[in-house]
A and B are shown apart, each in its own frame.
Chain A
Amino acid sequence: MIGLDWYQHSFDFPLASEPEWAAKVERWYQLDAGSFALTETFWRHQQSLEILPKWMLLASPLASNVTDRQFVASGASSPAKFVHTLPNIRSASLLQVMGWTGPVLCLQNDPKTVLTGISEGMGLALSTKRPVWVLSVTGAGVNFTGSIFVLDSNTTASRWKISKSTAPEMAIAASHDKDLFLWLNGSEQAEHSFTALECEIVKAHK
């Protein structure tokens, strides 16, 4: 069983002011909402994210569809918009701000992209015995949320614990990303555990 923590930040985009980390990112004003979300979420929670990961997994529902549509709507001629029309690009500004290099995988599996990222992250955290971060961006229009899930086999102080599930496969297949976020947001009152794909998440007893 390994520890699971979740750090999130919700915001309106486009921004009303310059971010605190602007000096660390070349042409920060050209970032799309996805890139901004991950960088700002890290920046706001960096005190709690002191132990850097061995691996990062990017897992955002809808991939880069929002930015893709903006590129097309603006006439499909803006290089600054086109460079953000891939879901992996959003880690570039985050890595600049963190000063981190290492292996990153960008995964898609809608409507279970975040769950898939967490399930794969659990496997990696178990095999490497090192922290793994799963990074996600959700939202559309002007409201977005960045999420950083930390999976760490060495922590005893996490908010949740995650382990390989023993539930039947048919039951496991039913849950989607939205169910996970609903459960995490209300887990103090909700059922004790959430099961999806090959993992079971439980509230940690502190």
Chain B
Amino acid sequence: MAWIQSYDCSTTAGDHSDDLWRALEAGRDLSEPWPEDPTVRAFLFKNRSSGSVQELLVDKLLTAFRPVKPALLMGESLGVILASTKGMSNDFIWQSEGLGLITDPLTPLLAQFLRRSELGPKRSLCVSNACSSSLAAMALAELWLEQGLSQVLILAADAVTPFVVKGFQALKLITPTQMKPFAEGRSGFFLGEGAACLLLSKERRNSEMRLHKVGLDSEGSAVTRPSSSGKSLRQAALNIPHLLELKPQVLIAHGTGTLINDETEDLAFSDLFTADPPITTCTKWCVGHTLAVSGAIDTIAALEALRRQSLFKLKTTSSVDPKFKGRYLTAQKNDYPENFSRVMISSLGFGGMHASALIERIPL
């Protein structure tokens, strides 16, 4: 359990969580041709520095950190966790091959952020659990708070680079048309860039937003797809204590728009919440699949939804796959929840790494 003191994010929608929210509500298509191969569309940062991948990501992390910084309690023990999949590996592998045998591609990114932010945390490290990295980092933050730290800063950052584009093209997961999560004719996703920052604390202070718990589970299924039973994804959710009694009213699903991801999520969560399924939506149609950052962006979308008591639709999905049993907030529906206080977030990662988080709004 932890209290969320502050947060912000940079996405293709702009450099703040307000920009993310406005884009989600408006349903604007923010994708653009990827400069390295215009046949591919991607959701890119709009205000880009012209340097290396490392400089771009550190700049964006500092932008997301700036509004969060005033909530840090100076003098109190601090931990910092960076969630990323490839970090600055594009600089390593494509431009400076020798560097790749000296260090992993994430730690220099975190070190550069710590230098430029002038933070001196008691503990710091990087988490790389594929696309569930942000929620895995939040699970580790919960452990650190239990072990005695007062506050933990979660950072998340990933960029769209030739490495990841070519890899996902090889896997045929990038859609040639448009992202349509949970739709019958879905065909994959566009990649997106993102940087996010969340400050978690042990003490409530004046926060109304509580991270009830993150549940993790991993399975030895095929590397790029979860088991078709959804068992491990369901178990990750069930590792959140009292989840079924707490009944989240909203689910922000991973929703990559691939055949298998969406099918597994529908199966796992419709089996879990049989009587009163949560209203389900997702963010990737609007900001792309930001890989390790996606869980942090979904958490921020959940916090904004709870704060505003409003919800965004699956704007690019007009009709849901008829096989699915969940309650999806598609473009045509107005099935908004009223007075909701609990939102669940789901993340699936390559390697069978699943995570769920439950966020609650508890008024002061």
Contact = CB atoms under 8 A, between A and B. Distances in A.
B350 A89 contact: yes
A76 B167 contact: yes
Nearest to A124: B143
Contacts of A79: 167, 170-172
B167 A116 contact: no
Given A94-B220, A103-B216, A116-B125, A76 B351 contact: no
A120 B353 CA distance: 19
Contacts of A189: none
B362 interface: no
B105 interface: yes
B350 A101 contact: no
A100 B166 contact: no
A110 interface: yes
Contact of B222 (A26, A108, A140): A26
B170 A78 contact: yes
Interface stretch (B12-20, B42-50, B57-65, B127-135): B127-135
B101 A102 contact: no
Contacts of A63: 104-106, 128
Interface string A109-137: 11101001000100110010000000000
A203 B147 CA distance: 26
Interface stretch (B88-96, B188-196, B244-252, B263-271): B88-96
Interface residues of B, number: 54
B118 to A, nearest CB: 18
Interface string A52-90: 000010000111010011011000111100111111111
A116 B140 CA distance: 13
Nearest to A84: B223
A92 B170 contact: no
A76 B129 contact: no
A177 B270 CA distance: 45
Nearest to A30: B223
B360 interface: no
Contacts of B104: 61-63, 65, 87, 108-110, 113
Contact of B128 (A56, A88, A102): A88
Nearest to A117: B125
Contacts, number: 158
B181 interface: no
Interface in B201-217: 216-217
Nearest to B292: A86
B100 interface: yes
Contacts of A87: 104, 128
Contact of B100 (A69, A96, A105, A127): A69
Given A65-B92, A65-B100, A86-B351, A104 B218 contact: yes
A76 B166 contact: yes
A106 interface: yes
B85 interface: yes
B103 interface: yes
Given A92-B221, A92-B351, A101 B232 contact: yes
A91 B107 CA distance: 21
A184 interface: no
Contact of B163 (A72, A84, A92, A123): A72
A180 interface: no
B219 A95 contact: yes
Given A72-B93, A127-B146, A127-B147, A101 B128 contact: no
Nearest to B231: A101
17 contacts: A26-B222, A56-B218, A63-B128, A65-B100, A68-B163, A69-B100, A82-B168, A83-B223, A84-B223, A88-B350, A89-B223, A91-B218, A91-B220, A91-B351, A93-B220, A113-B104, A113-B107
Given A88-B128, A104-B218, 6 more contacts: A76-B170, A91-B351, A92-B221, A92-B222, A109-B124, A111-B103
The 9 closest A-B pairs by CB, nearest first: A95-B220, A96-B220, A82-B167, A63-B104, A103-B216, A104-B218, A76-B166, A110-B103, A108-B126
Interface of A: 26, 56, 61-63, 65, 68-69, 71-72, 76-79, 82-111, 113, 116, 120, 123-124, 127, 140
